[in-house]
A and B are shown apart, each in its own frame.
Chain A
Amino acid sequence: MSERAFPPEHSTERPTAGPVIELDGAAKRFRSAGGVHTAVRDLHMRVGPGEFVAVVGPTGCGKSTTLSLVSGLEPASEGRVLVHGREVDGIPDGVGYMFQNDAVLPWRSVLDNVAAGPRYRGASRREARERARDWVARVGLAGFEGYYPHQLSGGMRKRVALAQTLVNEPSVLLMDEPFSALDVQTRGLMQDELLRLWSGSGAAVVFVTHDLEEALVLSDRVVVMTAGPATIKGTFEVPLDRPRDAEEVRLTAEFLDIYREVWDSLREEVQITRERGAGHAA
């Protein structure tokens, strides 16, 4: 039922050697109260090593589902999902995932939260804490090691989550609207922080957001998704030089040009979603 007459529009893809992430006609369906609900369908996407790809689309279209397919948290209903060339079956090696909602453990201090990953992966308590201490400092939380999450601000908790994910040194970093709950200034700061930490890590990033500005500030490539059931509508290269200053880059002429171009594509989908929402509300 997902094989309808929509031609896949993934023609602008780069021909990268050995993609880290490969989606090949992937679809995900859920059983719902009224039968079967298709979240995403016919996804074709490749992400190369060290590439930063942003996925934008209307709210609730299935962007997060795409990430859960890649992370192995949800198996694909159809098609193939490959990470490092291997079919995803369970959680693949080298994957880091930052969730939309806080996933830090409220009963652990900052340091022990960050040390969780290495501990799970068999490091000794001392070694894990050492690595955690290093990452806590790198995300700018030195001095807060002993604090509990409830004692931190929203932005600081995001830093903890970031350190928790990065301490495992993922080669694939999946981010699901990680900064959407933050105020605008904190968000700008966190975007800069993310770019600083990512540059030189060589990690492939898939960053899901509904905020086009955020997508363009951060990424090399923006993938626009359609209104649900979502598939890929188009892909846009972002012609902005790195290193970027997250606050400054959005004021440049190039930024506005590419923003206009992508927004033209995204607008229709947002419109469709809005009309549906209005239909539900009425």
Chain B
Amino acid sequence: MPRDAETIEKAPAVAAAAPGDRGELAAIARARSAGLRRALGINAVRVALVAAWLGSWELAARHVIDPFYYSMPSKIWERLVGWFTDGTSQGSIWEQISVTLQEAVAGFALGAAGGVVLGIVLGRSRFLSDVCAPFIKAVNAIPRIILASLFIIWFGLGMQSKIATAFVLVFFAVFFNAFQGAREVDRNLVNNARILGAGRMQVLWTIVVPSATSWILASLHSAFGFAIIGAIVGEYTGADKGLGLLINHSQGVFDAAGIYAGMIIITVLALLAEYLLTLLEGRLLRWRPAVSGHDVQI
């Protein structure tokens, strides 16, 4: 992970080992350029792979397979350009993106907050967790996507029903991790804090929450994916706006290129969110030791 490589710079051990003599400087320069070459090589192979994949698809679609069913990269690109310049059948593409994103983000925020709070509370209270265990297991066993239909009936075709679907998906993903994180707090740390004078709430805020943070952050990565799934499936089930509706509409008119184009937009959104979450994680977990094993051998 590149994040770890960045944090290494701050580690004093590396700074302390700052070399005085030329031999070491030269070795470091060599190692650095070797690392650079390696990164370039990896990216070159990646680009080649994508080019080969898209190229063979395009060629196959022109000569072998039927582009009506399987579409082809050039058509998908055309559709994307068309959406962004002329708008979609449902109106401006930006409006669809913004609606889906709002639903996903709202569902994500509510679900993550609820999951964290309930997870930590149940994780710290044996009694409550024993009481709730069978209910949580049962609710978790429900195929939650089905709830999207129910939410449409409850909340209508607007945003609320999609937010509710995203919420349900996110909540459980985050809840279980927060619960586990709160439960696995080092007893030693809790005892130490109590001896140092911490009350119950202080133990919760200064020991339990930070301990559970790495668990919670790990779950947030997959949780945002779930939020987008929730929003899209909600729109797919019934909506008046959004990317899910766009994809549903493309399906209805046998427009394979439209489905792919929608998929690509969603993928880009998910990757952006992933990037932001990784930044947040790096910020919150600054204290963690850099993962070794990525060192380039000199």
A151 to B207, CA, bound (A): 20
Q: A107 on the interface (CB 8 Å rule)?
A: yes
A102 to B11, CA, bound (A): 20
Cβ < 8 Å to A, chain B residues 116-131? none
Q: Are A73 and B287 in contact (CB under 8 A)?
A: no
Please list the residues of chain B having a beta carbon within 8 angstroms of any beta carbon in chain A: 11-13, 186, 188-189, 191-199, 202, 206-207, 210, 213, 285-289
Q: Are A96 and B289 in contact (CB under 8 A)?
A: no
Q: How far is the CB of B77 from chain A (nearest CB, A)?
A: 47
Partner of B197 from the list A105, A150, A168 (CB cut-off 8 Å) is A168
Chain A residues within an 8 Å CB radius of B189: 103, 105
A172 to B193, CA, bound (A): 16
A150 to B186, CA, bound (A): 16
**Interface SS of B by simple majority:** helix
Q: In the complex where A73-B191, A151-B12 touch, is A105 in contact with B210 (Cβ < 8 A)?
A: yes
A106 to B286, CA, bound (A): 10
**How big is chain A's contact interface, by range?**
20 to 34
A105 to B185, CA, bound (A): 12
Count CB-based A-B contacts (< 8 Å): 65
Chain B residues within an 8 Å CB radius of A77: none
A95 to B289, CA, bound (A): 32
Q: Are B198 and A120 in contact (CB under 8 A)?
A: yes
Q: A40 on the interface (CB 8 Å rule)?
A: no
Q: Are A120 and B202 in contact (CB under 8 A)?
A: yes
Select the residue from A71, A91, A120, A151 with max chain B CB neighbours within 10 A. A120
Partner of A150 from the list B188, B194, B206, B287 (CB cut-off 8 Å) is B287
Q: Are B196 and A116 in contact (CB under 8 A)?
A: yes
Chain A residues within an 8 Å CB radius of B195: 71, 73, 91, 95-97
Please list the residues of chain A having a beta carbon within 8 angstroms of any beta carbon in chain B: 71, 73, 91, 95-97, 99, 101-103, 105-109, 116-117, 120-121, 147-151, 164-165, 168
From A90, which residue of chain B is reached at the shortest CB distance?
A: B194
Q: Are A107 and B196 in contact (CB under 8 A)?
A: no
Chain A residues within an 8 Å CB radius of B12: 147, 151
Partner of B192 from the list A97, A147, A148, A150 (CB cut-off 8 Å) is A97
Q: Can you name 5 extra interface pairs (CB under 8 A) apart from A97-B192, A103-B188, A168-B197?
A: A73-B191, A73-B194, A116-B196, A150-B287, A168-B196
Partner of B206 from the list A99, A102, A116 (CB cut-off 8 Å) is A116
From B198, which residue of chain A is reached at the shortest CB distance?
A: A120
Select the residue from B13, B188, B194, B196 with max chain A CB neighbours within 10 A. B196
10 A–B pairs (Cβ distance < 8 Å), ordered by A: A73-B194, A97-B191, A105-B206, A105-B207, A106-B287, A116-B206, A120-B193, A120-B202, A148-B286, A151-B289
From A118, which residue of chain B is reached at the shortest CB distance?
A: B197
Chain B residues within an 8 Å CB radius of A102: 188
